[in-house]
Structure 1
């Protein structure tokens, strides 16, 4: 299967660390010219991509950025995230900002990129989350935004066909440089990894490989799809609670 994207231009929002950096590197390895957009430059610069300072929540700045591009073949809407906060422990405005970053910003970027993508029959890859399809206590606004993002991608795939393909990667737990902070150190990471059927957390490179596939000619007939990158998902809790067929 040839996933080569040589000669194509790819924009990855939030591509300076974690999943975004893994996605940017994967596209660069496939031969693409990669631009990564974020508010701050990467702490460890990597030569595979060109950095552009951009706050994706600033709609005017986003429109100016895309208007200034000569060509665009692939847009990866990766920028997102949310701090842990129970719903009642933060005001509505804070939750609204989470939704702006994770849902409205990808919509703004996609609209700004549309004309470029339509001209070359390009594609959009949304970086979704398993939080969008299950309860997400502590990050409820984030989960709601990711659910909306997946639905937006499906609608966009219908409205913009046949000129632009739009797909979503539904990403599970990823071992990034900040994973130890989320899961309580190395021991926590190992414990959480044991809950994944494949026995480990995803690596940013795993997400990047899936994004390259969806953007490549190998996926030319795939649009409006949601591809799960979660190592098999989550073991249902009731299996551990049930006593049937367990040795005593």
Structure 2
């Protein structure tokens, strides 16, 4: 697998036109695609002429997709075998018999690791969030890489988009488990962009009104945000960011944050927070570590 060379480039121009005609005839897998952001991504790809495989626990609303345009495959992303079946189905049912774009979108939110402190005895934290938000993303990544390698010798032909969160970049009082998983998604992208044989990018949504969040909570925080000159981000802007990554073959190793329009008129922006100035201590350490060819020598099995 020929690796793409990662180099720091100027911030992504988020206001230029997106050429969605490039998506016509492509095959796309979207995990967590039956509702919320995943459903919006799937719908946008179908409208652009792509064939889409929707992987989720429940099917999308009836009548939303024609079978010629999209198929649903039941999948718990935390189960390896079920994700294998999704990718196999995608190849078998794809008009081109290959996979071009994978969006690792499936994820959940939930209680914090330090919830339940009034219990008589400490209870083991629920790890379902890490099973889905980290293990599930790792499974999707491995399968995407395996298929991309066998489909083309050009590493730019495969595109993996990881869906993280702005919580992977900022401090909050939210769930520590959720924040850890989203920092983890950021770590996957930042490592693989330097050695993967395919394009890998990510997005980091700010608060968006989707089924993953309670309406009452969002109504409250929206009012608080407006007093600070901010607002929620929008689903349509998240879709635009995903389509930009999918259609722009020059994009590799980038993260686009989905933000309030007060911060960017496009509703998304390149925060440029995954690199460091070359002469800074972190920049020098990153350059040194990135120059090492680890192979199997950097890790010891006990």
TM range (shorter): 0.7 to 0.9
1:176 matched to 2:210: yes
CA RMSD across the alignment: 2.3
SS at structure 2 position matched to 1:169: strand
1:165 matched to 2:199: yes
Aligned residues: 225
Shift of 1:134: 2.1
**Which runs of structure 2 are paired with 1:1-248 in the superposition (5 Å)?**
1=17, 2-4=19-21, 5-43=23-61, 45-47=63-65, 49-68=70-89, 69=91, 70-85=97-112, 87-89=114-116, 91-94=123-126, 96-118=127-149, 119-120=151-152, 121-161=157-197, 164-177=198-211, 179-181=213-215, 183=217, 186=219, 188=220, 190-192=222-224, 194=226, 197=229, 199-216=230-247, 219-231=248-260, 232=263
In the TM superposition, what whole-angstrom CA distance separates every residue of 1:71-108 from its partner, at most 9, and x where no partner exists?
110000000021243524284441x2211211111111
In the TM superposition, what whole-angstrom CA distance separates every residue of 1:121-163 from its partner, at most 9, and x where no partner exists?
21000111011122343411111111111110121222213xx
Structure 1 or 2, whichever has the larger Rg, is: 2
- TM (normalized to structure 1)? 0.81
- TM (normalized to structure 2)? 0.68
SS at structure 1 position matched to 2:204: strand
Query: Matches of 1:196 and 1:117 in 2, distance apart?
Result: 44
Contact 1:12 1:34 in 2 (8 A): yes
Query: Matches of 2:211 and 2:86 in 1, distance apart?
Result: 29
Which stretches in structure 1 are left out of the alignment for 5+ residues?
234-248
Shift of 1:114: 1.6
Which stretches in structure 2 are left out of the alignment for 5+ residues?
1-16, 92-96, 118-122, 265-302
The structure in which a higher percent of residues are helix is 1
Contact 2:202 2:254 in 1 (8 A): yes
Shift of 1:193: 5.0
Query: Matches of 1:87 and 1:13 in 2, distance apart?
Result: 29
Query: Matches of 2:243 and 2:227 in 1, distance apart?
Result: 27
Residues 196, 36 of structure 1: alpha-carbon distance in 2 compared, 3 angstrom cutoff: farther
Residues 213, 83 of structure 1: alpha-carbon distance in 2 compared, 3 angstrom cutoff: same
Query: Matches of 2:147 and 2:228 in 1, distance apart?
Result: 39
